[in-house]
Amino acid sequence: MSNPAGPRIGLRAHFDAMNMEVPELIQALRDILGARLVAYLGSVKETRAVRQWADPEDPRKPSAAVEQRLRDAYQIAGTLREVDSATVIQAWFQGMNPYLEDHSPAMVLREGPPEESRIRVLAAARAFSSPSAA
């Protein structure tokens, strides 16, 4: 796995995660991770809520805390998307990760303290996408 972006990897994902409107963010995240994983990260049981969040005409949106978690997830997924396919990224989010004490990145983001979780999972993603990770 190569890292053509070098130290600038993830800058676009960060910009997009911070600037997208909620429906656009949800749609982009759903395109990479799938509706079920977005629902898990959003702490909802049904993908119907994810569809509602992605609909610009629907007034129902995630809470501020969930929205921030989804923005964090998009930044991480977008960083990985620069070097890998959606299939690999979905597996990475769901699989055991040695940088996260063998917890899945999705679980760490959903269950852990927000600031600490974001930092830890983003560091694990950068390690995974680094040429020296192989």
Please state the pTM of the whole predicted model. 0.90
- Residue that has been written with the tokens 């999705």 in this structure: 106
15 and 23 in contact (C-beta within 8 Å)?
no
Q: How is the chain split into domains, by residue range? A: 7-133
Give the separation between CA 5 and CA 7, rounded to whole angstroms. 6
Q: How far is CA 113 from CA 11, 21, 108, in A?
A: 23, 24, 8
pLDDT digits (tens, 9 = 90+) for 83-102: 999 999 999 999 999 999 99
Low-confidence stretches of the chain (pLDDT < 50) are 1-6
